[in-house]
Structure 1
Amino acid sequence: MDLKTLKQIYLDRLAPRPDVRWGITGAMFVLYCVRIWTTGAFYLITYCLGIYLLHALILFLTPKGEMIPDPFENIEDDDYIPETIDNEFKPFIRNLPEFDFWMFVTKIVGMAFIGTYFDILDIPVYTPILVIYFIFMVGYTTKRLIAHMKKYNYNPFLQSKEYYKK
């Protein structure tokens, strides 16, 4: 059996078990944080990891569809026609499904963890600037994403259709 087949077997076994999958990824992330804390280095890799995780989260939270544009493109407010979007119920289909989101996050955390073993990747940076810029980016991204959710009337955290009780 080759490595590709073995990988696919394990992925197929993990597919119906999100608690195990996210537990493995969480353990990898904790190991990464311990490695960063003990070495006191590789802050640029950690910053890049945060940016990639933010990008994956944006893809996970935005809907897939031809009528709803990307929340971070420069679009005019006149392009929105509520009659063509809001008249019928459509299920919330994500740009990045949960399994693919998990795979992306796991690969990125694994690559960042491996990157901490190469001294050439320990580029000296002034850490407070990275932290301030990252906080600014998260705040700006969150603001744009919430505005996009309100404008196009979707909520990625609720998966059920609205219904009325008699």
Structure 2
Amino acid sequence: MSEGDSIGESVHGKPSVVYRFFSRLGQIYQSWLDKSTPYTAVRWIVTLGLSFIYMIRVYLLQGWYIVTYALGIYHLNLFIAFLSPKVDPSLMEDSGKMKNFGLSLEGSQSLNSGLILILFLRHSATKGILVAMACTFFEAFNVPVFWPILVMYFIMLFCITMKRQIKHMIKYRYIPFTHGKRKYKGKEDVGKTFAS
């Protein structure tokens, strides 16, 4: 392997200026994300506010329906990912590894880590809204289309997808939320000394 063959390295073996710039930009972005972690309500308000601003912009401009449709499909995909467990029970059933899997789904944090997935959902939804908002500044993305057809197709796609997902949830007896699940406790007397 010769010098400069690895990604981000210049001919002299040092990271290139562009690589260092984007690396530093990524570090700053991650730092701001980490600082915003405790403010869950504020982050959701910002996401909903951006969504509201986007809807007003599309309504006032009377266009960019394809971009809005793509954003809706992206959000539907994120929602389905939220409803799905990490490990698909149907795949485990096919491989013969499934033994009484329905009972093991209750209270199992390895299958559906809701908090992390909700944070990912909000972050991804916000990025999607920002990309869609940026697309509304370019006339090339304003494809003329009869928008009621897109709305009907989205509703049909949503209903079919949710019907399939709900059937899957019923068949394998899992719920995507941690509220109402059984909580298993360990030994309560650990650490107490015996009186002699």
| TM-score interval, smaller chain | 0.7 to 0.9
Distance 1:41 1:14 in 2: 34
Distance 1:123 1:48 in 2: 12
C-alpha displacement of 1:66 = 5.1
Superposed counterparts of 1:3-82, under 5 Å: 3-65=25-87, 67-69=89-91, 79=94
C-alpha displacement of 1:63 = 0.6
Distance 2:70 2:59 in 1: 16
Distance 1:131 1:161 in 2: 36
- C-alpha root-mean-square deviation of aligned residues, in Å? 2.6
C-alpha displacement of 1:115 = 0.3
SS at match of 2:89: coil
Give the letter aligned to residue 121 of structure 1: F
Bigger Rg, structure 1 or 2:
2
C-alpha displacement of 1:67 = 3.3
C-alpha displacement of 1:44 = 0.6
Please give the TM-score of this superposition, normalised by the length of structure 2.
Answer: 0.71
Which one has more relative contact order, counting CA pairs under 8 Å at least 6 apart? 1
Please name the residue that 1:123 is paired with: 143
1:83-133 deviation per Cα after TM superposition (whole angstroms, max 9, x unaligned): 441343523424971222112101100000010000011001111111110
Distance 2:35 2:72 in 1: 29
Please name the residue that 1:107 is paired with: 127
Unaligned runs of 5+ in 1: 70-77
Aligned pair 1:93/2:109, yes or no?
no
Amino-acid identity (%): 33
- CA gap of 1:162–1:4, structure 2 versus 1, over 3 A, is closer
Please give the TM-score of this superposition, normalised by the length of structure 1.
Answer: 0.82
Give the letter aligned to residue 46 of structure 1: T
Deviates more, 1:59-68 or 1:11-20: 59-68
